[in-house]
Chains A and B, each alone.
Chain A
Amino acid sequence: MELLSPADWAKQQVKSVQDYTIVAARSISSLFSPPHYFGDTTQQADLIGFGSLPIVVLTGFFTGGALAQNSADTLKRFGSLTLIGQLVSLGMVRELGPVITGLMAAGRNASGMASELGSMVVTEQIDAMRALGTDPMKKLVTPRVVSTVFMLFFLTIISDFFGVAGGGIVSAFLFGVDWHQYWSTAWQILVFQDVFLGLAKPVLFGFIIATIGCYYGISARGGTQGVGRATTQAMVTSSILIIMVDFFVTRLTMTLFGQ
């Protein structure tokens, strides 16, 4: 591998950020000018949304269960085991539901988008599309961004539900917490700010997953090796960005709503 000077490396990073910004901006601006690819958007929503459903249900359920197990001992020590529903509910809705769903979707979809678009780049299919008068940004990128944002929102709600359910089953069967009490406390603790925070995150995460996946895909160079590299980079970068954005959004929301 060629060694770069620090200046060249910095320039390369700045250019990457610039190129990514252009891709992200065009994915939004394409929404406001024809043609609109509703069919492609629906197809992507099916692939991204329904395709991710099993992993989201499973990871949500077991994350909620694990959260309940880990919290139970501490709560018992303070004689507050009845609060377990609140803890699991808040943890899932505000934090774990969106983040786990985002990471799962990043692993499955950001890498999938990068490999699909990367393969199209190295086999000149993207150039062919442009040569045939079709804008790849409108045809390939925007439908993926729209469908990921849309479907991740609902996937997160499903993940939250199964997480709370998983926590409930663990609490009831392993720690003898009353099932009805668990659900009523889990439900009652949630306020507008929690739901807002929990549902704002997947919108941002969905945007990150799709734009990062598409950016690395259409930037792929160097044949199959380049596609492999793009796939890995897309997954790693989107996962890191999800965790970072999660931190800042949580901080921002707490500042805004005073929690």
Chain B
Amino acid sequence: MAGPPLFAGERKPAARPSATITLEFAQVSIAFEEKQLLEGISFRLHRGETKAIFGVAGSGKSTLLKMALGLLKPDSGRIFVLGEEITSLGEDELFELRRRVGIVFQESALFDSLTVRENVAFRLLEEGQLPDAEIEERVREALSFVELEHTVDMYPSELSGGMRRRVAIARTIITHPEVLLYDSPTGGLDPVTSNTIIELLVKQRDVYQTSSLLVTHRLQDAFTMGTHYFDRAANQMRPLPAGARAGVPMSFAILRDGHIIFDGNLKSLRETGDAYIQEYIS
């Protein structure tokens, strides 16, 4: 793997004492067609932390991410992103905030009529504030992060499922967001490709200390993230010794029947006495 690029104008998250919580859900509920999907959801995501949210299919994981980005409005409750309450913001105000929050969709959601270059550069091209040469440089850097520089002139339909996810990650990180939301980034992928994606997530977490919310139904992905770190010198993901795992900025939450029934670290997840959770993680 190529070394993680130092992006032009690389920005580290500001260490503001008042902004240690990047994302907060407070008693959030949402229903669709009279079916209560999520009820009283509350959790916090701290700066630099990755929180994996598990749940069976249809448990509201993707809905939760869309609410975090303001793509869906909750019926009740409050959502704070980077210190700002987004539930009361209009779409135009949300556009500003979304520059600091990125999302990788479940099926990549690449624009199929645009090339990889145009997809990755989409936000920068729309903003129109950077010269073409700088945009090209940023695109190359983002694609080199996901090791797909050679696909720059290809269309999404010419890429494999795993490559599309990686391009989607490149598109998301090109503006160096402070919070990243991953919607089942390994769903439907083979184990080898899934591992490549997880390695990119670990790399993003450990190299750029980006706060992330990862929703998935694949336990092994989140456990890999909780038990590995990215070795920048060797440029690869490595397992952590058992005693060092507590230092990984990783937490876990489990959704069941519209509620969060667990929110804690890997150790407490393994030690919980809840029968459902035990069965879920076994």
- Which residues of A come within 8 Å of B, CB atoms? 35, 123-125, 127-135, 139
User: Which of chain A's residues have a CB closer than 8 A to the CB of B92?
Assistant: 135
A123 and B69: CB pair below 8 A? Answer: no
User: Which of chain B's residues have a CB closer than 8 A to the CB of A139?
Assistant: 126
Stretch of B7-15, B18-26, B95-103 at the chain-chain interface: B95-103
Name the 6 nearest CB pairs between A and B, nearest first.
Answer: A128-B109, A124-B109, A133-B95, A132-B123, A124-B105, A131-B103
Is B274 in contact with chain A by the CB < 8 A criterion? no
A127 and B123: CB pair below 8 A? Answer: no
Most chain B CB neighbours (cut-off 10 Å) among A123, A132, A133, A135: A132
Q: Kindly state the separation between the CA atoms of A135 and B95 in the bound complex, as whole angstroms.
A: 8
Select which of A125, A130, A131, A134 is within 8 A of B112 by beta carbon.
A125
Knowing that A124-B109, A131-B98, A132-B126 touch, tell me 20 more A-B residue pairs with CB under 8 angstroms. A35-B126, A123-B107, A125-B109, A125-B112, A127-B105, A128-B103, A128-B109, A128-B111, A130-B91, A130-B95, A130-B98, A131-B69, A131-B71, A131-B102, A131-B105, A133-B123, A133-B126, A133-B127, A135-B92, A139-B126
Is B122 in contact with chain A by the CB < 8 A criterion? yes
Q: Kindly state the separation between the CA atoms of A133 and B95 in the bound complex, as whole angstroms.
A: 5
- Which residues of B come within 8 Å of A, CB atoms? 66, 69, 71, 91-92, 95-96, 98-99, 102-103, 105-107, 109-112, 122-123, 126-128, 171
Select which of A124, A127, A132, A135 is within 8 A of B122 by beta carbon.
A132
User: Which of chain B's residues have a CB closer than 8 A to the CB of A123?
Assistant: 107, 109, 112
Nearest Cβ distance between residue A57 and chain B, in whole angstroms?
Answer: 28
User: Which of chain A's residues have a CB closer than 8 A to the CB of B171?
Assistant: 132
Q: Kindly state the separation between the CA atoms of A132 and B105 in the bound complex, as whole angstroms.
A: 12
7 A–B contact pairs at CB < 8 A?
A130-B91, A131-B69, A133-B126, A134-B122, A134-B126, A135-B95, A139-B126
Most chain B CB neighbours (cut-off 10 Å) among A35, A128, A131, A134: A131
Q: Kindly state the separation between the CA atoms of A164 and B267 in the bound complex, as whole angstroms.
A: 83
Shortest Cβ distance from A130 into B: residue? B71
Shortest Cβ distance from B168 into A: residue? A128
Nearest Cβ distance between residue B181 and chain A, in whole angstroms?
Answer: 9
Select which of A125, A127, A133 is within 8 A of B66 by beta carbon.
A127
Q: Kindly state the separation between the CA atoms of A35 and B128 in the bound complex, as whole angstroms.
A: 10
Q: Kindly state the separation between the CA atoms of A139 and B114 in the bound complex, as whole angstroms.
A: 14
User: Which of chain B's residues have a CB closer than 8 A to the CB of A130?
Assistant: 71, 91, 95, 98
Q: Kindly state the separation between the CA atoms of A123 and B156 in the bound complex, as whole angstroms.
A: 13
User: Which of chain A's residues have a CB closer than 8 A to the CB of B91?
Assistant: 130, 135
Shortest Cβ distance from B95 into A: residue? A133
Q: Kindly state the separation between the CA atoms of A139 and B127 in the bound complex, as whole angstroms.
A: 13
Most chain A CB neighbours (cut-off 10 Å) among B106, B109, B127: B109
Q: Kindly state the separation between the CA atoms of A127 and B102 in the bound complex, as whole angstroms.
A: 12
Shortest Cβ distance from A126 into B: residue? B109
B98 and A132: CB pair below 8 A? Answer: yes
User: Which of chain A's residues have a CB closer than 8 A to the CB of B71?
Assistant: 127, 130-131
Shortest Cβ distance from B102 into A: residue? A131
Nearest Cβ distance between residue A203 and chain B, in whole angstroms?
Answer: 28
User: Which of chain B's residues have a CB closer than 8 A to the CB of A133?
Assistant: 95-96, 98-99, 123, 126-127
Q: Kindly state the separation between the CA atoms of A124 and B62 in the bound complex, as whole angstroms.
A: 11
Shortest Cβ distance from A116 into B: residue? B113
Q: Kindly state the separation between the CA atoms of A127 and B108 in the bound complex, as whole angstroms.
A: 11
Shortest Cβ distance from A119 into B: residue? B112
User: Which of chain B's residues have a CB closer than 8 A to the CB of A125?
Assistant: 109-112
User: Which of chain A's residues have a CB closer than 8 A to the CB of B103?
Assistant: 128, 131
Q: Kindly state the separation between the CA atoms of A63 and B111 in the bound complex, as whole angstroms.
A: 40
User: Which of chain B's residues have a CB closer than 8 A to the CB of A132?
Assistant: 98, 122-123, 126, 171
User: Which of chain B's residues have a CB closer than 8 A to the CB of A35?
Assistant: 126, 128
Q: Kindly state the separation between the CA atoms of A35 and B123 in the bound complex, as whole angstroms.
A: 13
B107 and A124: CB pair below 8 A? Answer: yes
B127 and A128: CB pair below 8 A? Answer: no
Q: Kindly state the separation between the CA atoms of A133 and B71 in the bound complex, as whole angstroms.
A: 11
Q: Kindly state the separation between the CA atoms of A155 and B14 in the bound complex, as whole angstroms.
A: 56
Q: Kindly state the separation between the CA atoms of A54 and B103 in the bound complex, as whole angstroms.
A: 43
A128 and B98: CB pair below 8 A? Answer: no
